[in-house]
Structure 1
Amino acid sequence: MTTGHPQDCILETRGMTKEFRGFIAVNDVSLKVRRGDIHALIGPNGAGKTTCFNLLTKFLTPTRGTILFNGDDITSLKPAQIARRGVIRSFQISAVFPHLTVLENVRIGLQRNTGWSFRFWQGERSLKALDARAMELLEQVDLQAFAKTVTVNLPYGRKRALEIATTLAMEPELMLLDEPTQGMGHEDVDRVTQLIKKVSAGRTILMVEHNMNVISSIADRITVLARGAVLCEGDYATVSKDPAVLEVYMGTSEVELEGAH
């Protein structure tokens, strides 16, 4: 069990380390994610952010260290087991079925949650019963007008919104977002940023994100990684003024850190 008040800390890592043939990709990372927060994981390329995500979602096993979720040790669990506990990851590359409609994509997420996964002989009437909930989720992400659109025809930013809807369909208690605004134009970034803020109500979000404007506008707490280790942690005002952080983010990134509002 966690020390202190586990009800305030939904996810904790203690000394989480990952080595690949002598290279230490994640080095003694101890992280606490508070329940209800939007917690951002940032750092320059090669800092170990994606490896951390892979460790937390069990696509990789730590070389050493412990991962706790709601006070329970989940270090040795498999990805499907932690997903059933409510730890759901939205992938960096949009993970939707391109040739199904927007509604059908969300319905598949709902099927996974009902235990109907891959039962393709499930009656059409049973599947239709999920449509009302699917439409509710599409309304949450402002995609109700696109319900019958084949997903491949969606603009990129809308595909990311759909991915968030399919993640929500699995009822995450902790939602992990991997670069949710990557590759987007300004308008899409603003829309998805507001969407993340909206869907954070009643759940906890841990996100990897490069865009400092996004971080500064919605993150409650920020952990900065550099060379696989925690460099600094705090709110945006604290992190953006930390000399060690500014040293890591040299050049344009330093200006971006100082200039984002």
Structure 2
Amino acid sequence: MNQQESILETRNLTKEFKGFTAVSDVNLKVRRGSIHALIGPNGAGKTTCFNLLTKFLEPTTGTILFNGIDITREKPAQIARRGVIRSFQISAVFPHLTVLENVRIGLQRQLGTSYHFWRSETTLDALNARGMELLEQVGLSDVAQTVTVNLPYGRKRALEIATTLAMEPEMMLLDEPTQGMGHEDVARVTELIRKVAVGRTILMVEHNMNVVSSIADKITVLQRGAILAEGPYAEVSKDPRVMEAYMGTVEAELQGAH
């Protein structure tokens, strides 16, 4: 995969905590325009990996490239400006604002006018129109004026995706987007991810193998901080090493998901 094809690349990415190696020599290449899933048993280093990519942690050694540019030493705000936006963490919604107001805050961040609530009415109207478009996209336009705290769980997650989209991400990092959801919400959010992936790249950590098998173009399996296997789901799920390391829990998850 050449530089143009991969939007994000890590070279020998390693993170040690007091003698414990959480991420070990990870060489990851995420293809532009793809949905790439990071999976692995608990303690495999997935979250640490995400924290390194979004700069909430500094790597011990190794390099991170985004669009061919070395971003290893950049701060979280710098890489967010480059278009690498992580959902389900900093975009956490404001519970006592309406659904539309939440999206508007994301739009204001994007414009670099965050929290200038004294902006003119015209600016706010323009933000409202764009906000409604985004809510339409994630199927929430009917609850635009609802106070967020009153939304059911699955729809709150859809709102988090909308606030992330408001920041015009070129690449979205989704951390366990369907965690804690019932079957119906999982299906809805999976469909939503498929929809918002058009024209952008998604890297996701996800435990639900039904979700991964239905939308991921490529899967990277981590075990004890290192890459164990990589490829399309059909291939990876048959890999004996993956089955040994992981498939006990996967089978249980798959059965639980049906």
Shorter-normalised TM range:
over 0.9
1:167 aligns with 2:171: no
1:90 aligns with 2:78: no
Contact 1:92–1:180, Cα closer than 8 Å, also in 2 = no
Contact 1:240–1:258, Cα closer than 8 Å, also in 2 = no
For residue 133 of structure 1, the aligned residue among 106, 130, 133 is 130
The secondary structure found in structure 1 opposite 2:107 is helix
Distance in 1 between the 2:53 and 2:247 partners?
A: 29
Structure 2 length normalisation: TM-score? 0.96
Where do 1:197-236 residues align within 5 Å? 197-236=194-233
- Relative to 1, partners in 2 of residues 1:94 and 1:69: Cα closer, same or farther, differing over 3 Å? closer
Question: Equivalent residue for 2:14?
Answer: 17
The RMSD of aligned alpha carbons is 1.7
Distance in 2 between the 1:92 and 1:84 partners?
A: 17
**CA deviation after TM superposition for structure 1 residue 5, in Å:** 2.4
Where do 1:1-261 residues align within 5 Å? 5-91=2-88, 95-254=92-251, 256=253
Alignment length (residue pairs): 258
**CA deviation after TM superposition for structure 1 residue 124, in Å:** 3.6
Q: Please tell me the residue identity of whatever aligns with 2:18.
A: R
Contact 2:208–2:254, Cα closer than 8 Å, also in 1 = no
The secondary structure found in structure 1 opposite 2:4 is helix
More deviation, 125-134/23-32: 125-134
Contact 1:157–1:184, Cα closer than 8 Å, also in 2 = yes
- Identity over aligned residues, as a percent? 79
Post-superposition CA distance 1:132-159 (Å, at most 9, x none) = 1100000110000010000000000000
**CA deviation after TM superposition for structure 1 residue 119, in Å:** 1.7
Distance in 2 between the 1:79 and 1:131 partners?
A: 27
Structure 1 length normalisation: TM-score? 0.95
